[in-house]
Amino acid sequence: MRITFRDVSYTYMIGSPFEKKALDAVNLTLSSQTFTGVVGSTGSGKSTLMQLINGLLLPTTGQVQNGDFILHRKSKRKYVKQVRRQVGMVFQYPEHQLFGSTVEEDMLFGPKHLGLDIEKSRQRFPDLLELVGLGEEILPYSPFSLSGGQMRRVAIAGVLATHPKVLILDEPAAGLDPAGHRALLDLLRDWHDQHGLTTVLVTHDMEDAARYADEIVVMDEGKPVISGAPTDVFRQADQLAGLGLDVPASVRVSRAMQAAGWEVADTLLEPEALAGVVIDQLSTVRKEG
């Protein structure tokens, strides 16, 4: 589903002395079936932007279009719920949403409350659990008896259980060790590819944005300031630095290599690919030398 923001502004606690404009006249389109990375410093409005997509927040002004659904300030509760049926959302620390006495009960929460076919959903649980790296034998256990990593996987399975067309991931890997971090994002990217989803990943890790996203949107002070393919976005390293943002290590390395007169195309982003180039060039240098 294509997601379009039209002149969207959002102000928290409007009319109080704590009033805070979090988004300021945002115009942005996220194309259907792309994996978009949203980056930006803390407080730049990333989470607010995400919550507007499924109507957890309704825009103060402007409208958010989600496929054929249009959300605005006065959207009705029932209508918003229809939108939520299309959109799955994984928050930071998704394991905090677990409540059921069994994993199964917890995973059924979404399908039940969004009015999906319970039996059909239940039949998919074993596959879902396998996808997130767990087994179906876990279904009768209490989610609170699991380890932190397992709890997070269960929570994510609980979100995927509604088979959303749009998946919003707001720093889903926060607090995981590097291996768990990679494994989690790998599986979410695989799920995205297999099901042709429209996915938005909020992250402040530029390596993640480079590795997983097809498109990158850079937020600053409530506005998208740079967007485009990762290669194009990361070419603007100076501008990013001005926003307090880094570029991935592989980009820094290839820039340094270019500056030193090496032949490196500036489209490289995968560290592995870059390492290949370095090895190639080193062996040429050795042969010639």
Partner 1 sequence: MLQNIVIGQYVPVTSPLHRLDSRSKLISLLALAVIVFLANEFWSYLALLATVVLFVALSRVPLRFFVKGLFPVFILIVFTFLLHAFFTNEGYVLFSILGFSIYSGGIEQGVFIAIRIGSLVILASLLTLTTKPIDLTDGFEFFLRPFKRFGLPAHEMALMMSISIRLIPTLLLEADRIMKAQAARGADFTKGTMKTRLETMTAFIIPLFVRSFKRAEDMATAMDARGYRGGEGRTKLRVLQWRLQDTIACIVVGGVGVVLAILRDF
Long-range contacts of range 6-11, CB-CB < 8 Å, 24 or more positions apart? 6/62, 6/63, 6/64, 6/65, 7/61, 7/62, 7/63, 8/52, 8/59, 8/61, 8/62, 8/63, 8/64, 9/59, 9/60, 9/61, 9/62, 10/45, 10/48, 10/52, 10/57, 10/59, 10/60, 11/60
Tokens matching residue 224: 């998208």
- Span of 60-68, 83-91, 171-179, 234-242 interacting with partner 1 by CB under 8 A: 83-91
Q: Look at residue 165 and give the partner it binds from partner 1, ligand ADP, Mg ion, none, a contact being a CB closer than 5 to 8 Å depending on partner kind.
A: none
Please give the order of strands across the beta sheet that includes 69-71. 20-30, 3-12, 61-66, 69-71
Please choose which of ligand ADP, partner 1, Mg ion, none residue 87 contacts, taking the beta carbon within 5 to 8 angstroms, the exact cut-off set by kind: partner 1
Is residue 16 part of the contact set for ligand ADP (CB under 6 A)? no
Per CB under 5 A, 51 contacts Mg ion: no
* Residue 42 contacts ligand ADP per CB under 6 A: yes
Nearer to ligand ADP, 132 or 219 (CB): 219
94, two tokens: 């998704």
Distance CA 70, CA 85 (A): 14
Q: How far apart are CA 81 and CA 67, in angstroms?
A: 14
> Considering beta carbons, is residue 95 or 220 the nearer one to partner 1?
95
Is residue 270 within 8 A of residue 249, CB to CB? The reply is no
Nearer to ligand ADP, 110 or 172 (CB): 172
Alpha-carbon distances of 43 from 46, 210, 219, rounded to whole Å = 7, 21, 9
Total interface residues for ligand ADP by CB under 6 A: 12
- Measured from the CB of residue 113, what is the shortest distance to ligand ADP in angstroms? 23
197 touches, from partner 1, Mg ion, ligand ADP, none (C-beta below 5 to 8 Å by class): none
For residue 75, report the phi and psi dihedrals to the nearest 5 degrees.
-60, 145
Q: Does 43 contact ligand ADP by CB under 6 A?
A: yes
Please tell me whether residue 47 binds Mg ion under the rule CB under 5 A: yes
Instruction: Name the minimum Å distance from CB 20 to ligand ADP.
Output: 4
Q: Provide the minimum distance between the beta carbon of 64 and ligand ADP in the complex, in angstroms, as a whole number.
A: 15
Which CB sits closer to partner 1, 58 or 225?
58
Binding ligand ADP (rule: CB under 6 A), the pick from 1, 8, 26, 46 is: 46
User: How far apart (Å, rounded) are the C-alpha atoms in residues 23 and 45?
Assistant: 6
Tell whether residue 47 is a contact of ligand ADP (CB under 6 A): yes
Interface residues with Mg ion (CB under 5 A) are: 47
Interface residues with ligand ADP (CB under 6 A) are: 12-13, 20, 22, 40, 42-48
